[in-house]
Amino acid sequence: MAAKERKGSRPGKAQQDSERSGRSIVSAVNVAINRGFVVGREVLVGSIPGIVVGYNIASFGQFIGHAYPLVVRTALGVTKCGMDEVSLA
């Protein structure tokens, strides 16, 4: 019988990390909303015009929600943006 492979974490640890990540994503989205980046708002991604179409709530992957809270549609496609990448039009 083979030994069980260990993932290196304690039971319940992943859930705590997920909750902490979830809180920081909610916080980032709230900051974006409070700064005026609401759905339907025209913005500039650099110099490219776009419209906020939603909020990124991803807690894993390359573009996680607390770093890239905005989802913006431009003529070039839909992208996830950080607060430092966009400005109000």
Residue with tokens 């400005």: 87
Partners of 42 in beta bridges: 51
Annotated domain spans of the chain: 38-89
Q: Please compute the mean of the pLDDT values over residues 31-60 and round it to a whole number.
A: 96
- Centre a 10 Å sphere on the Cβ of residue 83 and count the other Cβ atoms it contains: 15
Residue predicted with more confidence, 17 or 71: 71
CATH of domain 38-89: 2.30.30
Partners of 81 in beta bridges: 70
Is residue 83 within 8 A of residue 32, CB to CB? The reply is yes
pLDDT in tens, 49-80: 999 999 999 999 999 999 999 999 999 999 99
